[in-house]
Amino acid sequence: MIDLRSDTVTKPTEEMRKAMYEAEVGDDVYQEDPTVKNLEETAADILGKEDALYVTSGTQGNQIAVLTHCRPGEELLLEAESHIFFYESGAVAALAGVQTRTVKGIRGAMEPQKVLEAIRTDDIHFPETGLICLENTHNRAGGAVIPVGNMAEIYKIAQASKVPVHLDGARLFNAAAAANVDVKEFSNYADSVQVCLSKGLGAPVGSIIAGSTEFIGNARKWRKRLGGGMRQAGVIAAPGLIALTKMRERLEEDHVNARMLADGITAIPGIEITSQPETNIVVADVAGLNLTSEVFVELLWKEGVIAGTFGATSVRFVTHYDVPRNDIHKAIDAIARAARH
């Protein structure tokens, strides 16, 4: 089977498996795991932040950031189809006691003026705006890269309003690769940032949140409160360190494969690519086949391709390390067969 559901399905490399076996470990709750500390220090340096914290998942990292930045009763501004709003089970309400206020973006990018207008004024009837969240790349916008200029404008507005900014950068290194810039060009315009090690970078588990020393100190306590304090975590941090230092340079290969996949699908009658992929996500609309996405995904399975539904007639394909170029050609042929079913 060619698994194009998500880049989360990647398996650790042989080098990662060996590093897991050989990792030097200690109790990370006591901050005594040298491998975890190395990972955190390396991540902070790469992202241009004072400090970093290893967490179990991207969702946990985002929620810790919200809990650290906000107080109960405050309001969170974020794009209408952002991951934090759409895919994290309402955790900001359930855990942090904050409400969301969404701003509809264009391919995931919120217009700075609309963000400014959404920040609450000092009025007894309104909740205070506690945090602005950005997402880069933007998952539901098909892996779109939010431009550095857009982030810079929003960050300037946030600073003037004394509102912190958190960046859900689950695939931030994909954004940097696509824009051909240092990742700091993006992370500089956020007070805190979360990046996943377990997507395109190929690690088996874990994410990083980074920010100021004070922020990470408070975030560490929230991680403990959420049951995220790990003990000899070096065995999973070791492959994360390899992911962070050795797997970033190959992300463009996934982007090339995504463009190749999109071009191949475009030639199939009845299927439309909703937008040309900027990174490693391809979204196809099968309405022209008079099929729902669920039915088409079932047909794909029978043809040896695993994909995910992304709406009533939208199907998502994600390229990654475990799908080499020759499998892209096979996938295109399989998609064509499913379309003729």
Residues 260-292: pLDDT tens digits? Answer: 999 999 999 999 999 899 999 999 999 999 999
66-119 per-position pLDDT tens digit? 999 999 999 999 999 999 999 999 999 999 999 999 999 999 999 999 999 999
5-19 per-position pLDDT tens digit? 999 999 999 999 999
User: DSSP readout, 36-87?
Assistant: HHHHHHHHHHHHT-SEEEEES-HHHHHHHHHHHH--TT-EEEEETT-HHHHS
Q: Which CATH class is domain 8-246?
A: alpha beta
Contact 165, 131 (CB under 8 A): yes
188-227 per-position pLDDT tens digit? 999 999 999 999 999 999 999 999 999 999 999 999 999 9
313-338 per-position pLDDT tens digit? 999 999 999 999 999 999 999 999 99
| Region of residue 143 (left: phi > 0; alpha: psi -120 to 50; beta: else) | left
Contact 206, 235 (CB under 8 A): no
Residue 98, token pair as written in the block: 């904050």
Q: List Cα–Cα distances, 69 to 34, 46, 83, 149, 171, in angstroms.
A: 28, 22, 18, 24, 22
- The separation between CA 182 and the C-alpha centre of its own chain, rounded to angstroms, equals 17
pLDDT for the residue numbered 275: 87
Fold of the CATH domain 250-339: Aspartate Aminotransferase, domain 1 (3.90.1150)
- Whether a cis peptide bond, with omega within 30° of 0, leads into 35 is no
Exposed e or buried b for every residue in 54-88, given b needs 16+ CB within 10 A?
Answer: bbbbbbbbbbbbbbbbbeeebbbbbbebbbbbeeb
224-242 per-position pLDDT tens digit? 999 999 999 999 999 999 9
Rounded to an integer, what distance in angstroms lies between the CA atom of residue 150 and that of residue 263? 29
Q: Please report, for the chain, the start and end positions of each structural domain, with discontinuous segments joined by +.
A: 8-246, 250-339
Contact 129, 161 (CB under 8 A): yes
DSSP code, position 123:
-
Contact 135, 108 (CB under 8 A): yes
User: Percentage of the chain surpassing pLDDT 90?
Assistant: 99
Contact 274, 285 (CB under 8 A): yes
